[in-house]
A and B are shown apart, each in its own frame.
Chain A
Amino acid sequence: MSRNNMFMNRRRLLQLGLPGLSSLLLNMNCTNLSMNKGAKTGAAGEGEPRKFLFVFGAMGGASINDSFLARRESEVKDASTLNVFPDRLIRSVGGSDLRAVDIADDAIGALPFPVKAVQSRFLAKYYQDIMVATLTGTSVAHPVAQHRSVTGNDAWNGRTLQEAVAAQYGKGLLLPNLNMGTVGYAEHGRDATLPAYARAEAVPDPAFFPFAMHGYKGVQGVPDGNLIRMARQLRDQQLEPQSGFYQTFGANPMIQQWMDYRKKQGLFEEADLINRLNPFADSKDLPFRNFGLEPNKDGEILREAFPDIGADPLQTQALLAYLSVTQGLTCTATFGLGMNVTIDGKDEDNPLLTNTPTAFDYSHNAHRSTQALLWHRVLDTLDRLITLLKVTEYRDGQSYWDHSMIYIATDFGRDKKRPENAREFPTGHDTNNGVVIISPRANGGRVLGGVDSKTLNTYGFDPETGDPTPGREMQEREIYAGILQALDVDTSSSGLPRIRAMGRKA
């Protein structure tokens, strides 16, 4: 396959096995789509290739014991009172220590929705790029723990991972750091020395975000662009400098920031991001064309990969993360589960719950089914994102995925125990857990550290080799350092430890 038809080719998308792609694609011509050539705004430019960090906020406490470090009953002595699974429910692949739980249930505690969770498909597909690093956190308070999961507990002046990546790779991009997260995952870091361009742009609703990428396109009856430029010049160069208000208060930092951003407005508008970031189809309900807007021309294939955009906020977020990176706008995007219930109501007679109230924290009510439902949802969404990244060329014949990392950040783990032989049970918060990193740049196919079969607590690893080190607990700052170093972020002046084990070459 030549480079030209290797990327973003509909047949190739099908070959990658994304579930849900319809036969429609099979019957369409195998033409390259524009996305493989679309990064004109900075990402695919000359110079050192950028790296891309996607942070997925697994809100509420995603337990590693219910996914990649799950344990079989036969492996554990006190199986009846620990959170372990019947042997038949756990899959392993490729000789790695990574696990997957395939499980089904009729309800999620009191919520009468069925659960069918299949983790093994994701594991089989990506295990060579999946790395689990054990971790013991420092907080069981959600917002605090969430923020620490991205700052390594203020490991580097309070700078978040996303800010560090944006500071390294985001210079020259229009929106280096896009944050669709909530609560602690949405918080800015505290590093006053952070370059302004690396600060996150908050995106509360990805479906609406493209509208904010242009000052007037799509407003009916708007005068021509040239006239608007003249009006802006009148405002900026004549009216404001004379204004008593500006003369009095113009030195205010917020006003200065406002004016700096306003100067960049033309760049956003010229880049036509209002259309390029819009994956929706023109329709009676969303009559973009009536308002002079032209949604992304590759929207059809994007909607094949993410068929529930709009109705499903997580898919909408993931797709905006993909678009913002591959359109050359962004080098780090944060998204994840929200606090609100979401339901897939395509089948009105059999609606499916897609997010529990407070996401993973519904484990307080029904641990096993909540973890099963949401791990499935997380992995399904990431599968779709990775699939698109793999078929989108970044540069020099390499895909965006070759330069990307997905970090599944979570608040903390959950209790390791259960009532004797209970199939469903409530759990509280536990600082002991592990994090999942998926990337060609990570030490994939490996579990760094291990699980104590007596307690199900995770233990640490040698920072240099990754060898299991019972008795050692990995700190938040070590995971933070390992992530940045695997992405070749310069941490030399940070005082962070060297965690070579988390990089691909370890």
Chain B
Amino acid sequence: MFHNRRIFFIAMSLTLVACMKSKDLTQGDSLPQARQGSALVSASPKADVKRKRADLLRNSLAKILVLHPQGLCLELGQLPCADLVHKVSLGGMNAYGNAQYRYPDQVSVSSSMSLDRLVMSACIQRAQIDLINPAQGVIFKNVALSIDGRLVKNDAVVTSIHTLYQRAFLRDASPIELDNFLQFYEAVYAEQPIGAARNWMVLSCYAVLTSVEAAFH
């Protein structure tokens, strides 16, 4: 099949690299790879997108962050956000409870606030779990903290941002995006040094997963 051994070895090497990178991301389900970064692109004349509705948002977040869909966000620790409290605000339908037989045709004032709550709750959980066991971290894998709670800036920090983007959008963060997150940590630390690393994790996750790129498809 291969014309010579050299090509065979190159092909094998690429496959192995791909497998290794994929393994980094697969604390949960495996996700396909996508092209790197984003250069400046031209606007779509149709700009035809759909919002992610409650069920899809819940399932996507659960998959990206490897959390249980039903435990992702619970108001007062007991009321499911996407399935009950914010279902319609997040674009869902409530036929039996409220005789609402059609999906909302537009976003509403409360939609972005409902999404914020859903994502914030999920990101807090993910950051807490990854902090407790960094070696098994899904997003913030091997991210280390200094004794006083600062972020230890090493490759794991960069990898975690790429991982977040890969799991959310199937692409790496661009160099500019990466730089934004590193600067963001400095800003978070300057604002509130105590718990800065943990807050940076939560808020980086929040900023990405509440963006329009995460809310629409």
Q: Chain A: residues with CB nearer than 8 A to chain B?
A: 174-175, 182-183, 186, 188, 199, 201-202, 204-205, 208-209, 211-216, 218-224, 226-228, 230-232, 234-235, 238-240, 242-252, 254-255, 257-259, 261-262, 264-265, 268-269, 286-288, 290-291, 338-340
CB-CB < 8 A to A249: which residues of B? 43-44, 47-49, 212, 216
Taking the complex as formed, is B108 at the interface, i.e. its CB lies under 8 A from any CB of chain A? yes
- CA–CA, A182 to B39, complex, Å? 46
Enumerate B198-214 residues with CB–CB distance to A below 8 Å. 199, 202-204, 206-208, 210-213
What is the interface residue range for chain B against chain A? Answer: 35 or more
Q: A216-B120, A261-B109 are in contact. Are A254 and B180 (CB under 8 A)?
A: no
* B47 near A212: Cβ-Cβ < 8 Å: no
Instruction: Given A221-B128, A249-B47, check contact A291 B210 (CB 8 Å).
Output: no
Bound CA–CA A261/B112 (angstroms): 7
A224's nearest neighbour on chain B, judged by CB, is B192
Q: Are B42 and A248 in contact (CB under 8 A)?
A: yes
Q: Are B106 and A254 in contact (CB under 8 A)?
A: yes
| Distance of A223 Cα from B106 Cα, bound (Å) | 30
- Which residues of A lie under 8 Å from residue B187 when comparing CB positions? 230
The 3 nearest A-B residue pairs measured at CB: A244-B38, A215-B116, A212-B110
* A222 (CB) vs chain B CBs: closest residue: B120
Which of B85, B109, B207 makes the CB contact (< 8 A) with A201? B109
Beta-carbon contact of B97 and A340 below 8 Å = yes
Q: Is the CB of A227 within 8 A of B203?
A: yes
How many residue pairs bridge A and B at CB < 8 Å? 213
Instruction: Pick the residue among B42, B85, B112, B212 that contacts A215 (CB under 8 A).
Output: B112
| Interchain CA distance A208-B83 in the complex, whole Å | 12
Whether B108 lies near A248 (C-beta < 8 A) is no
Which chain B residue shows the least CB distance to A223?
A: B199
Beta-carbon contacts of B111-135 to A below 8 Å, as 1s and 0s? 1111011001100100010000000
Main SS class of interface, A: helix
Does B19 sit within 8 A of A, measured CB to CB? no
Nearest Cβ on chain A to B137's Cβ, whole angstroms: 17
Q: Check B188 for interface membership: any CB of A closer than 8 A.
A: yes
Whether A201 pairs with B110 at a CB distance below 8 angstroms is yes
8 A-B pairs, CB-CB below 8 angstroms? A214-B117, A219-B121, A235-B207, A235-B208, A243-B38, A250-B212, A258-B216, A340-B96
Interface status of B100 (Cβ within 8 A of chain A): yes
Cα-based distance from A186 to B103 in the complex (angstroms): 12
B177 adjacent to chain A (CB < 8 Å): yes
Shortest distance in angstroms between A219's beta carbon and chain B's nearest beta carbon?
5
Name the distance in Å between B113's Cβ and chain A's nearest Cβ. 5
A243 near B213 (CB under 8 angstroms)?
Answer: yes
Specify the chain A residue showing the minimal Cβ separation from B35: A244
- In the bound complex, how far is the Cα of B76 from the Cα of A218, in angstroms? 8
Residue of A nearest to B73 (CB): A219
Chain A residues contacting B101 (CB-CB under 8 Å) are: 183
Given A234-B180, A243-B38, A262:B76 Cβ within 8 A: no
Tell me whether B1 is interfacial, beta carbon within 8 Å: no
Choice from B48, B128, B177, B204 contacting A252 with Cβ under 8 Å: B48
- Assess the A287–B113 pair: CB atoms within 8 A: no
Is there an interface contact between A251 and B177, defined as CB atoms closer than 8 Å? no
Scoring A239, A254, A265 by chain B CB atoms within 10 A of each residue's CB, the highest score goes to: A239
Residues of B contacting A228 with CB < 8 Å? 203, 206
On whether the beta carbons of B109 and A175 are closer than 8 Å, the reply is: yes
A306–chain B nearest beta-carbon distance, Å? 20
* A242/B85 contact (C-beta < 8 A), A252-B216, A261-B111 known: no
Partner of A211, one of B117, B124, B195, B208: B117
Residue of A nearest to B196 (CB): A227
Nearest-Cβ distance from residue B188 to partner chain A, whole angstroms: 6
Question: Assuming A221-B124, A255-B49, is B107 touching A247 (CB within 8 A)?
Answer: no
A232 touches B207 (CB 8 A): yes
Question: Which residues on A sit within 8 Å (CB–CB) of B180?
Answer: 234, 238-239
Asked if B67 lies at the interface with its beta carbon under 8 angstroms from chain A, I say no
Q: Which residues of A contact B181 (CB under 8 A)?
A: 234
Are B86 and A211 in contact, CB atoms less than 8 angstroms apart? Answer: yes
B117 with A231: CB separation less than 8 A? no
Residues of A within 8 A of B106 (CB): 199, 254, 257
Please determine whether A186 and B100 come into contact, CB atoms closer than 8 angstroms: yes
CA distance in complex: A287, B74 (Å):
13
Verify if B160 is at the interface (C-beta below 8 Å from A).
no
Interface contact A234-B113, CB-CB below 8 Å: no
- Asked whether any CB of chain A lies closer than 8 Å to the CB of B176, the reply is yes
**CB of B17 closer than 8 Å to a CB of A:** no
> Could you tell me if A240 and B211 are in contact, using CB atoms closer than 8 angstroms?
yes
Name the residue of chain A whose CB is nearest to the CB of B176. Answer: A242
A265 to B109, CA, bound (A): 8
Q: Which of A202, A226, A227 has the most CB atoms of chain B within a 10 A radius of its CB?
A: A227
CB distance from B202 to the nearest CB of A (A): 6
Which residues from B are CB-within-8-Å of A215?
Answer: 112-113, 116-117, 120
- B99 neighbours in A (Cβ, 8 Å): 182-183, 338-340
Q: Does B159 have its Cβ within 8 Å of any Cβ on chain A?
A: no
Let me know if B117 and A219 touch, CB within 8 A: yes
CA distance A213 to B109 in the complex (A): 9
Q: Which of A213, A231, A265 has the most CB of B within 10 A?
A: A231
- CB-CB under 8 A from B216, the residues of chain A are 245, 249, 252, 254-255, 258
- Is there a chain A Cβ closer than 8 Å to B215's Cβ? yes
Q: Does B41 contact A (CB under 8 A)?
A: yes
Q: Does B88 contact A (CB under 8 A)?
A: yes
B154 interface contact, C-beta 8 A: no
Which of A216, A243, A252 lies in contact with B49, CB distance below 8 A?
A252
CB <8 Å contact, B38 and A242: yes
Q: Flag B171-203 by CB within 8 Å of A: 1 or 0 each.
A: 000101100110010011001100100010011
